Amino acid sequence: MFLGDMGAEVVKLETRNGGDSLRRLASLWGYKFLLDDERNTFTEDLLRNKRSMTIDLNHEEGRAIVHRLVQRADVFVTNFRPAAARKQQLDYETLAALNPRLIYARGTAYGERGPDTDKAGLEMMGQAHGGLMLGSAKVGSEPVYPTIGLNDRLGAIGLAFAILGALVARDRTGNGQMVRTSLLGWTLSLQAVAISCAANTGQDPRPLDRRDQYDPLYNVYELADGTWIALGMIVNGEHDWRVLCTALGLEQLIDDARFATHADRDANHRELIGILDEAFAGLSWPEWEKQVREHEMISCRVNALTDLSADEQVLANRYMARLPHRELGEFWYVPTPVDFSETPVSIRSEAPHVGQHTSEVLGELGFSPEQIDDLRRREVI
């Protein structure tokens, strides 16, 4: 998807009977994904800018068609486990022999080595095994599943990153290669700061109750209108403390012995949080935002997911975009958030229906209409 947004031509290979199973994912934890016209919010975003081709990989002719595609491809992406790839003759050795310049990209759940190499896994497993679910929970609390699809997206970013690096290397050496990454690996990379602390100090960094946040200037607070704000006034030490006190009309606290230094605020954090709670409770979001801009403070609103499609900053940067859709009328997308000055990312087509482009792709490979009809009759495609 990310490479497609950047202009790559992407052909998605799907099974003949129903295509990718994620297309039929109706709900998760009670949140419904299904839309009209056999559309699905989960896959409508993921399959944009792709063409869909259905093929039976258990059929020898089906595998031969994939081999013909590979001979003209730059990149082959798979999440097949190694044994399954070998069975379908889609392993790296087989495909690299057909196209030595091929970048063969494989994403797995747990990595290429170790006892779980061939173990099946989904998005939640990467978060669970990688410490994110407990790392996001307060001590003594149940594991937290942060949000739907987080680890899948992260793993895809990692694989796209690897593919782009391999393409640059190919430009220099003329040779393709295999690149591999995993949901588990990128879950750890995402948490590198906390994991480094845990591994090197023996501490277990976990979220604290906001009243127990030892640095009250790095916390969340509720305003009078129910808006929550995030405060990040910790970069410039005592200067930030003076600015915050001035913005809140609490100048008397600047030299208060209880809060005069960082160490003092740490020691008396509960008392200070209580004072700040009271001060923020007297402000609305527009009033606080005005102070933030006037005093150049580090603070922002805490948004809900449902706020984002109306957020001025999000829309100005096209981090979300409502685009025309031939069947749904319009659809909200989350584009790849990268700006290129000469070759901008774009969403050029909505997600295809299952097998929508099978005949088109086969025609580009040199198959005649009669041959395509024959393949379809014999259930190869």
Each residue's pLDDT, cut to its tens digit, for the chain (381 residues) gives: 999 999 999 999 999 988 988 888 888 878 888 888 888 898 899 999 999 999 999 999 999 999 999 999 999 999 998 888 999 999 999 999 999 999 999 999 999 999 998 888 888 999 999 999 999 999 999 999 988 889 999 999 999 999 999 999 999 999 999 999 999 999 999 999 999 999 999 999 999 999 999 999 999 999 999 999 999 999 888 999 999 999 999 999 999 999 999 999 999 999 999 999 999 999 999 999 999 999 999 999 999 999 999 999 999 999 999 999 999 999 999 999 999 999 999 999 999 999 999 999 999 999 999 999 999 999 999
Candidates 273, 371, 360; CA nearest to 54 is 360
Residue 103, number of CB atoms within 10 A of its CB: 24
**Helix or strand (DSSP H, E) at 54:** strand 50-54
Torsion-angle region of 30 (φ positive above 0: left; ψ -120 to 50: alpha; else: beta): left
- Give ranges for CATH 3.40.50.10540 in the chain: 2-193+312-377
Residue 52 backbone phi and psi in degrees, to 5: -110, 135
Exposed, middle or buried: residue 264 (CB in 10 Å: 0-12, 13-18, 19+)? middle
**DSSP run (H or E) holding 124:** helix 123-129
Tell me the fold of 2-193+312-377: Rossmann fold (3.40.50)
Instruction: Report the CATH number of the 210-307 domain.
Output: 3.30.1540.10
Where, residue-wise, is CATH 3.30.1540.10 in the chain? 210-307
Which of 96, 114, 112 lies closest to 104 in space, CA to CA?
Answer: 96
Predicted TM-score (pTM) of the model is 0.91
pLDDT of residue 217: 97
Q: Which of 45, 125, 26, 34 is nearest to 349 (CA)?
A: 45
50-54 vs 10-14, strand pairing mode: parallel
Is 105 strand, coil or helix?
A: strand
Closest CA to 247 of 204, 308, 297, 205: 297
